[in-house]
Structures are given as structure tokens and as C-alpha cells.
Amino acid sequence: MSIKPTDKPINFIRHQINDDLDSGLHHSIQTRFPPEPNGYLHIGHAKSICLNFGLAQDYHGSCNLRFDDTNPAKEDVEFVESIKADVKWLGFEWQGEIQYSSNYFPKFYAYALELINKNLAYVCFLTAEQTREYRGTLKQAGKDSPYRDTSIEENLTLLTKMKAGKFSEGECVLRAKIDMSSNFMCMRDPTLYRIRFDKHHQTGNEWRIYPMYDFAHCISDAIENVTHSLCTLEFQNNRHLYDWILDHLEDFNRPNRPHQYEFSRLNLEYTVMSKRQLQQLVADNLVSGWDDPRMPTISGLRRRGYTAASIRDFSDRIGISKVDSMTDMQILEDALRDNLNTIAPRTMGVIDPIRVIIENYPENSIEILQAPAHPQNEAMGKRELFFSRELFIDRADFQEVAPNKKFKRLAINKEVRLRNAYVINATTFDTDFDGNITTVYATYDATTLGKNPADGRKIKGVIHFVEATKALKAEFRLYDRLFTLENPGKNDHFEQLINPDSLVVTYGVVEPDMINSEPEKAYQFEREGYFCRDNKDIDKLVFNKTVSLRDTWNN
């Protein structure tokens, strides 16, 4: 028997589940995650995964993974495999074997025959354009198809011929006989089956007719004894068709059959969540692929350095409601920062390096220093730093003249502390032919390792560095919002709104122990942000910027 959790925030879905358990309608709950394998999952799907699998865990029920694979023209086994990997990466396990709607094709066909025999379905030969004309509008009722009164016997014969491939694609469809004057457009004799000659990734060329999503989805739920069928608000009106189909099939017309409940989909700022638009970005090479770290796909977020824990936390933070709204990107990034701050070891990387020569440091000498791997977690141990006469610092950390008293970086005759090392003072610098600074000359105070200057002078600035002789060259990919507008998906030419600075590539240096860095593992490059080593270009040191140390978008 399911156990009602007491430590979870109550939303309308949990209220419904509690009521159904209390009334005895259900003794345990069964949910499902039913993606269509026609693209990669995005963070909106992650919200649904966390909801369906999370409810099953909390109520000690079960959740299965089912591919609603009813459109072979758009589906591929590549998407099947990517979805399975995403669900597992998020930390969830499905109940039993993976299910496919295509497993039920014989049953769907039998239920279509049942509806015909009940005079509730008919084969229609109207063209797509004629069907739209006959359907009417929101203000005008539709009119009956001239094929609506075809006899039961003839409809049975016609469906058999459709199944045998005797008609061409688009020549006819099977429609439900419901109500052409219904206030719900989805109830105006919707299509149940259409003809497709594409090879299916699971059933090959066995079938020539394929059920529509609305017909297959509810029956699949019922076959699998799903208790609470959870979907997003755009399917709210389709619930009438969901119920109509199950009400008119003898196997499922029972009180404890599945019921559909709708919640608001995730709309995230500065990106698009439409699978069609995401497909366009990939097809038009506007991004490097489905796993481009700027994409809101789970694989893209993973490659960028997002963690499964942060995405689960984000799903908890935004909650479940029936109100469509735009979610602030900062909520997602805050969940990520909170997680990475606790797990990411510290290191130093210089993204735009210039050389520093410590003129009073001994030549050909390298000093080994100690620094914490994590300042708040001693259990993570220490890491070795190297210090010598030649170092790299970031170009942004030096100016010839400090612009104001608040400037806390290096300038001529202005001291700063090198992180976990000594205090240095800049004396002069070199430039190239274009006036760009190439080398800064400085001196160091040998008495300031791990302590303030003995004479009491105050050092206000701290900058990071990497020792030059052991530094490793690295590529840094600095990612930002993919689009310049908060809600680009509403624009007909959304692709023209791509942020030109959504990816900036620089070349710098990292500490030598980063040669052993692991792909996807989070590291905090001190003062720069959180990064992870890229999980595709693993033959070289490539680090993707996951998120800054603090929100800087509106600053």
C-alpha cells in the first residue's frame, strides 16, 4: 500500500492522490513518463521526469518509462537511447521493462475495430483541406463528413484495407464519431488512425497504419494500469477525448481507470522550449548539436556542467501549479550554484593570461605551496600550488594606473596578494606593437606567505595566478544566454535573436593537476566561476563555463 509522504510541499496533484488513496479508489499509485522519441529531452521534460518518478518514490508506488512511438516519420532509435540515458542520469529508475506504445499496436487495432462495431468510428476520405473546412471554427459548428454514415460492415472492410496498405498516404483516415458541433475542437470527429509507409524503429514494416497520439496515449495508460496520467496544460481540452475513448471501450470503462491531470509546462527565460524550434536550431547549424551547452536539453546542460542534483532541486523550487508563467533563469542558476559550491574542488585558471616576472625571486627556483581543495570542507584535503619567478595573471587584473580607490587589482606601485601565496607590487610593464600589455614586472614580499605584512600595511586586493613553467594550456568556452530576449519563442523569427556573445572562446592556462580533471566534473576556478571539462573534446583540455560565481546578467 502506498504511504503518503508528510515532508513534501502539497500541490493540487498530491491533494488528488491523497484523496484517491483515502477514498479507496486506488490502493497504490502508478505513474509513467511517456516521451515521444522524436528529439532530445529538455529541462521541461526534466520537470516532468522529477514529478512522475518523484511521486512514485514518495508514495512507494511505481513509475514506468514508455515511448509513445506512434509517428515513425519523426522518430529514431538515437532519441530512444538519449532519453534512457537522460532519465538515468537524473537519478531515476523505471519500473520493470521499458514500454513502447508500438508494443500495443495489435491491441490498438482491436480497439479501433470495437469502436467501429459500436458505430463510433468511420473511415473518412476527405482531404486534409476539406477536413479543416468541415471542422468549423471556435465560433461556428462543423458539419458532418459525407462518409460519416458509412455502414459498420463497410467501415470494417475499409479499415482492413488500410491496414493492408491498399490506400495511399493521406487518402483516408479513421475518425471517431463524436460531435461536430462540440465546443471542444478536439471532439469534432478526431482522427484515430492514419496511413504511414515509413519504417518504424521498433516494428519495421509490419504496419501501414499508425494510431494518433490521443488514441494511443490513453489506451497505453489504461493497459499499464496508470492511476494518474500527468501532462501539461496544452492537453487540457484533450482530456475530453481521453475520457471519451476509455469510456467507450469495454476493457477500461471502470472507476479506477486512468485519469488525466494537467500542470503548467516549464517556460524558461532566454531560451526556447518548443521541440520544433530546438530541432530548427540543430538542423540549421545555429548550434553545434542537441548537446550544445547553450541548449536547454538535458544533454546540453550536462555537457555544460549542470548536475542532476541541481536540476532536481530546481524542479522542487519552481513547484507544480496550473498557472503558465515565465521562469526566471536565476532560479535555475541559483540551484546550480548552491550545489556546486558544496561539491566543486577549487583550482586556478587564467582565462586571458599576461606574464608576470617577479624580479627579486630566485631564478630557476620553484616553490611548492599548499592550498585547501575546498575552503569549507577540510575532508577534501589540500592541493599543491607552484610559485616561481614567472607567473601568469589575468589581463583584467592589471592596469597601469588604478582608476579609483576601490580598485583592488594590480597596478603600478600598488600591491595585491596572489591567492594562497605572496604579496606582490608591480613596477613596470612591456607592450606589443599594438599597445597590448604582454609582461608585468613586479617584486614580492617574502615575509607575507600566509600572513599580513609585518609593518602593518593593509593589502586590499587578491588576484589569482598560475605558475608559468608548469602551467598547462587550455581552451575556455564561456557560455551565456542563448537569446537576447526573455521570451524569444514568441517571435516568428526567433533564430534572429540569438545572442552573438552566447559563446566566447579564449585560450589560457590552468594548474598542472588539471591534466587529471574528469569530464563533466565541476571545478571552481577561483574568482572566475564554475567550469567543467568538456565531455566530447576529451583529447585536449577544454573547459566549459557552467555558471558565474554570482548572478551578473542584470548587473
3-state DSSP assignment of residue 363: coil
pLDDT band at 271 (very low <50, low <70, confident <90, very high): very high
SS3 readout for 407-431: CCCEEECEEEEECCCCEEEEEEEEE
> Strand order in 390-394's β-sheet?
462-463, 415-418, 423-431, 437-445, 353-358, 390-394, 466-467
Q: How many domains does the chain have?
A: 3
Q: Which of 41, 36, 34 is nearest to 82 (CA)?
A: 41
Q: Phi and psi of 210, rounded to 5°?
A: -135, 135
User: Quick one: 140 and 184 in the same domain?
Assistant: yes
Q: Select from 63, 168, 163 the least CA-distant residue to 108.
A: 163
**Residue at a domain's end among 441, 464, 487:** 464
| CATH number of 109's domain | 3.40.50.620
Q: Are 185 and 318 in the same domain?
A: no
Band (pLDDT 50/70/90 cuts) for residue 324 is confident
Tell whether the model's pLDDT for residue 518 goes beyond 80: yes
The alpha carbon dihedral of 136, 141, 145, 151 has a sign of: positive
Flag whether pLDDT at 171 surpasses 50: yes
- Please give the Cα distance from 477 to 20 (Å, whole number): 50
Q: Is the pLDDT of residue 107 over 70?
A: yes
Same domain, 340 and 382: no
Portion of the chain with pLDDT greater than 90, in percent: 93
pLDDT at residue 292 above 50?
yes
Last residue of a domain, one of 235, 263, 291: 263
Residue 299 has pLDDT above 80, yes or no: yes
pLDDT of residue 555: 43
Question: Other CB atoms closer than 10 Å to residue 521's CB: what's the count?
Answer: 15
137 with 212, same domain: the answer is yes
Determine whether 275 is an active site residue.
yes
Distance CA 404, CA 413 (A): 14
Within 13 Å and on the Cβ side, how many CA atoms surround 398? 31
Domain CATH for 538: 1.10.1160.10
- Cβ atoms of 144 and 176 within 8 Å: the answer is no
pLDDT tens profile 147-168: 999 999 999 999 999 999 999 9
Of 262, 263, 273, residue with least CA distance to 332: 273
Inform me whether the pLDDT recorded for 552 exceeds 70. Answer: no
Which residue range forms the structural domain that includes residue 440? 349-464
Q: What is the dihedral of CA 5, 88, 270, 478, to 10 degrees?
A: 130
| Closest C-alpha to 475, from 548, 539, 529 | 539
Would you say 522 and 486 are in contact if contact means Cβ atoms under 8 Å apart?
Answer: no
Angle formed by the axes of helices 308-318 and 43-58, to 10°? 80
Per-residue pLDDT, 306? 98
Residue 36 designated active-site: yes
Catalytic residue among 177, 239, 275, 312: 275
Measuring CA to CA, which residue among 510, 454, 70, 44 is closest to residue 273? 44
Q: Which of 74, 143, 161, 265 is catalytic?
A: 265
Q: Say whether both 321 and 179 belong to one domain.
A: no
Q: Is the pLDDT of residue 12 over 80?
A: yes
Query: Are residues 358 and 318 part of one domain?
Result: no
- 59 within some domain: yes
- Model pLDDT, residue 433: 93
Same domain, residue pair 314 and 285:
yes
The residue with cell 545555429 is: 286
Q: Is 375 left (phi over 0), alpha (psi -120 to 50) or beta?
A: alpha
Instruction: Tell how far CA 31 is from the center of its chain.
Output: 21
Q: Is residue 187 part of a domain?
A: yes
Average pLDDT over residues 458-480: 96
**DSSP strand E in 344-422: where?**
346-347, 349-350, 353-358, 366-372, 382-388, 390-394, 398-399, 410-411, 415-418
SS3 letters across 299-329 = HHHHHHCCCHHHHHHHHHHHCCCCCCCEECH
Average pLDDT over residues 7-17: 90
CB distance 423 to 453 below 8 Å:
yes
Dihedral sign of CA atoms 156, 159, 163, 168 in order: positive
Q: Cα separation of 313 and 310, whole Å?
A: 5
In a domain, 281, yes or no: yes
**Per-residue model confidence as pLDDT tens digits over 29-61:** 999 999 999 999 999 999 999 999 999 999 999
Q: How do the residues of the chain divide into helix, strand and coil, expressed in percent and rounded to 5?
A: 30, 25, 45
What predicted TM-score, i.e. pTM, was given to this entire model? 0.93
Mean pLDDT of 494-507: 96
| Over residues 266-292, mean pLDDT | 96
Q: Is 148 a catalytic residue?
A: no
pLDDT at 406: 84
Q: Are residues 50 and 147 in the same domain?
A: yes
Whether residue 365 is found in the same domain as residue 407:
yes
Distance CA 516, CA 537 (A): 14
Task: Provide the CATH number for the domain around residue 357.
Answer: 2.40.240.10
The pLDDT mean for the chain works out to 95
Quote the CA–CA distance of 520 and 423 in Å, as a whole number.
Answer: 34
Burial of 173 (0-12, 13-18, 19+ CB in 10 A): buried
pLDDT at residue number 550: 85
Q: Say what angle helices 12-23 and 43-58 make with each other, to 10 degrees.
A: 30
| CA-wise closest residue to 535 among 77, 85, 94 | 85
Is the residue at 555 inside a domain? no
Say whether 4 sits in a helix, a strand or coil: coil
Residue 3 lies in a domain: no
Is the domain of 283 the same as that of 233? Answer: no
Q: What is the pLDDT of residues 82-91, one digit of tens each?
A: 999 999 999 9
Region 230-253: mean pLDDT is 96
Last residue of a domain, one of 215, 232, 263: 263
Residues 335 and 353 in one domain: no
And the C-alpha cell for 91? 537519478
Residue pLDDT, tens place only, 423-468? 999 999 999 999 999 999 999 999 999 899 988 888 989 999 999 9
Same domain, 22 and 161: yes
Digit-coded pLDDT (tens) for 108-147: 999 999 999 999 999 999 999 999 999 999 999 999 999 9
In a domain, 2, yes or no: no
**Residue labelled with grid coordinates 557552467:** 546
What is d(CA 295, CA 132) in angstroms, rounded to the nearest whole number?
35
268 inside domain: no
257 touches 2 (CB < 8 A): no
Is residue 7 included in any domain, yes or no? no
DSSP assignment of 536-555: S-TTS-EEEEEE-SS--TT-
C-alpha cell of residue 429: 610593464
